[in-house]
């Protein structure tokens, strides 16, 4: 409940403040968002598995974001930033799908 509330508050704050993303962070924000989504789905799945742990959730959330951003940064430095961003998004997308499938099985038994 508090999580949903927090999500809503974050959206509202984002809409109200309308911040501009610093130029050097602009390539990393979309990847970080996708990584955080992945962590969120993972946490939801762990919750339904009954193995949710807030410490693990926090760590995975932050490390996912940082690692994803770091990979993209590394790719930019190597000159393959675009391709590596695509790769990260694909991997995270697959994980989100598999987590979503797991959640679906828990909730609908199908």
The site for another protein (CB under 8 A) is made up of: 1-11, 13-15, 18-21, 23, 26-27, 29-30, 32-33, 36-43, 45-61, 63-64, 76, 81-82, 94-95, 97-99, 101-102, 105-107, 109
Nearest 5 degrees, angle CA 95-CA 45-CA 27? 40
Give the shortest CB-70-to-another protein separation in angstroms. 16
Give the shortest CB-44-to-another protein separation in angstroms. 9
Name which of 7 and 74 has its Cβ closer to another protein. 7
Give the shortest CB-15-to-another protein separation in angstroms. 6
- HEC readout, the chain: CHHHHHHHHHHHHHHHHCCCCCHHHCCCHHHHHHHHHHHHHHHHHHHHHCCCCHHHHHHHHHHHHHHHHHHHHHHHHHCCHHHHHHHHHHHHHHHHHHHHHHHHHHHHCC
Name which of 30 and 87 has its Cβ closer to another protein. 30
Name which of 45 and 88 has its Cβ closer to another protein. 45
Give the shortest CB-25-to-another protein separation in angstroms. 10
């Amino acid at each position: 409940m508090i999580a949903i509330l927090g999500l809503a508050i974050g959206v509202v704050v984002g809409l109200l403040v309308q911040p501009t993303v610093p130029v050097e962070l602009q390539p990393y924000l979309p990847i970080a968002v996708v990584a955080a989504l992945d962590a969120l789905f993972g946490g939801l799945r762990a919750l339904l598995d009954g193995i949710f742990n807030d410490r693990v959730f926090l760590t995975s959330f932050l490390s996912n974001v940082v690692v994803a951003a770091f990979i993209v940064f590394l790719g930019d430095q190597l000159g393959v930033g675009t391709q590596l961003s695509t790769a990260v998004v694909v991997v995270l997308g697959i994980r989100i799908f598999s987590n979503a499938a797991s959640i679906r099985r828990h909730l609908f038994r199908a």
